[in-house]
Amino acid sequence: MKVLVAMSGGVDSSVAAYLLTKEGFEVSGISFELWDRRDVSNFNSCCSLETIEIAKDVAGKLCIEHYSVDVRDAFYRHVIEGFCDSYVSGLTPNPCILCNKYIKFAFLLEKADEIGADIIATGHYARVERPGSFNGIDEGTERFLLKKGIDPKKDQSYFLYVMTQHELSRVVFPLGGMRKEETRRIAEDICLTNALRAESQEICFVGDGKYIDFVRNFNPDVFKPGPIVSDNGEVLGTHKGIAFYTVGQRKRLEIPSLIPFYVVDIDSGKNTIIVGDRKGAMKSRLLVRSLNWISIDGLNEPVRAGVKIRSTMMEEPSLITPGRDSVIVEFDNPQWAPAPGQSAVFYMDDIVIGGGIIEKEE
């Protein structure tokens, strides 16, 4: 069976490719040129020309074919513009989720069909379960299930909730049942040149710079000063432009006070930052739209589930109530600073039910 593996030049995707060759698959690798940064050397960026060369070297060592595909136009339209427009609108985007939704899996499948590959693979720490009965919500529904990776520190299912049933039917995640330490050990055992390469903690197209500089270069006109007001309407100061701020932020407010202030809301229409105390940044209720369901066709009645509003947090017990094209999430315990524009992902044990984008309630 032929498999096409997304290879970023990192240790995870490299080991994923190696494991598939050991299992007897006919493996090919593919790297995407996502963003033109020829003027910047950024070794840890997954979209840099350097990392594509690393992926080619790894493919050569594994004796597999390697392709590189220029997807910069699509990446610009679907990820870069969305990222910058979100900050301009007072939202906090998640570009990795946008990339998974519009770029990575779509182009993987396109190339897989072109070369006759049966399945695709990535180095994500997540798992796919083939159809069977899912008794949590809708008994007897046969759907592909997305599950957490077994390594709680590396689980990446949060970023994958946008996947479709068609994509899940064609994908494998070789690292889903492994821990990161085991991945590193395998890379060292087979002498991969990137075995000890540091993981990038930056947004890939921003690299080692600051996101705010990137947004400013994209649209310099949006950095207009405006008022910072308290949650009771008192003007407390002046901000430098709403793109500098996100809900829950404390830095850069420059408000003289004996008590700390946090951003609790952003009104892009009025170019205003609203601040309050820590309690004001805690929320018990969320409106979530742009939904994608995985383990079920949709939600017809309220259900209790775990909800993540950040990739690094543990899911929190909640009641999810369906609306017309949205759901309301009500947490058992208030949560810190849910940011409109970020994703809320719903879990039942280790199974991803679905998820969507947090929006402000009017």
Identify the pLDDT of residue 47: 56
Identify the pLDDT of residue 218: 81
Q: Is the pLDDT of residue 99 over 90?
A: yes
pLDDT digits (tens, 9 = 90+) for 174-229: 999 999 999 999 999 988 866 555 565 567 777 655 788 888 888 776 789 999 99
Q: In the CATH hierarchy, which top-level class contains the domain 2-123+174-189? A: alpha beta
φ, ψ at 83 (rounded to 5°): -60, -50
H/E stretch holding 96 reads: helix 95-99
Identify the pLDDT of residue 25: 97
Answer for the pair 43, 203: CB distance below 8 angstroms, yes or no: no
Q: Is the pLDDT of residue 69 over 50?
A: yes
Q: One fold for both 223-276 and 281-359?
A: no
Q: Which CATH number fits domain 281-359: 2.40.30.10, 3.40.50.300, 2.130.10.10, 3.60.110.10?
A: 2.40.30.10
Query: What average pLDDT does the structure give for the chain?
Result: 90
pLDDT digits (tens, 9 = 90+) for 117-174: 999 999 999 999 987 644 454 444 589 999 999 999 999 999 999 999 999 999 999 9
Identify the pLDDT of residue 210: 78
Q: What is the pTM of this model?
A: 0.91
Q: Is the pLDDT of residue 249 over 90?
A: yes
SS3 state at 242: helix
Catalytic residues: 99, 204
Closest CA to 176 of 148, 153, 199: 148
Interval 14-33 mean pLDDT: 97
φ, ψ at 171 (rounded to 5°): -110, 150
Residue partners of 20: CB distance under 8 A and separation at least 6:
3, 5, 27, 121, 172, 174
Write b or e for each residue in 220-233: b if 16 or more Cβ atoms lie within 10 A of its Cβ, otherwise e.
eebbeebebbbeee
Interval 242-265 mean pLDDT: 91
**H-state helical runs in 129-226:** 165-170, 180-189, 211-218
The domain segmentation of the chain, as residue ranges, is 2-123+174-189, 223-276, 281-359
Q: Is the pLDDT of residue 48 over 50?
A: yes
Residue that the structure tokens 């009500």 belong to: 330
93-102, long-range: CB within 8 Å, 24+ apart, which pairs? 93/341, 93/342, 94/159, 94/341, 94/342, 94/343, 95/203, 95/204, 95/205, 96/159, 97/159, 97/161, 97/162, 97/343, 99/34, 99/75, 100/159, 100/160, 100/162, 100/163, 101/162, 102/74, 102/78
More confident residue, 139 or 52: 52
Residues forming a β-bridge with 321 = 328
More confident residue, 319 or 324: 319
Per-residue confidence band for 49, with pLDDT thresholds at 50, 70 and 90:
confident
pLDDT digits (tens, 9 = 90+) for 270-289: 999 999 999 999 999 999 99
Q: Is the pLDDT of residue 60 over 50?
A: yes
Identify the pLDDT of residue 198: 58
Identify the pLDDT of residue 217: 82
Q: In the CATH hierarchy, which top-level class contains the domain 223-276? A: mainly beta
Interval 296-303 mean pLDDT: 95
State which of 53-62, 160-169, 249-258 shows the largest mean pLDDT. 160-169
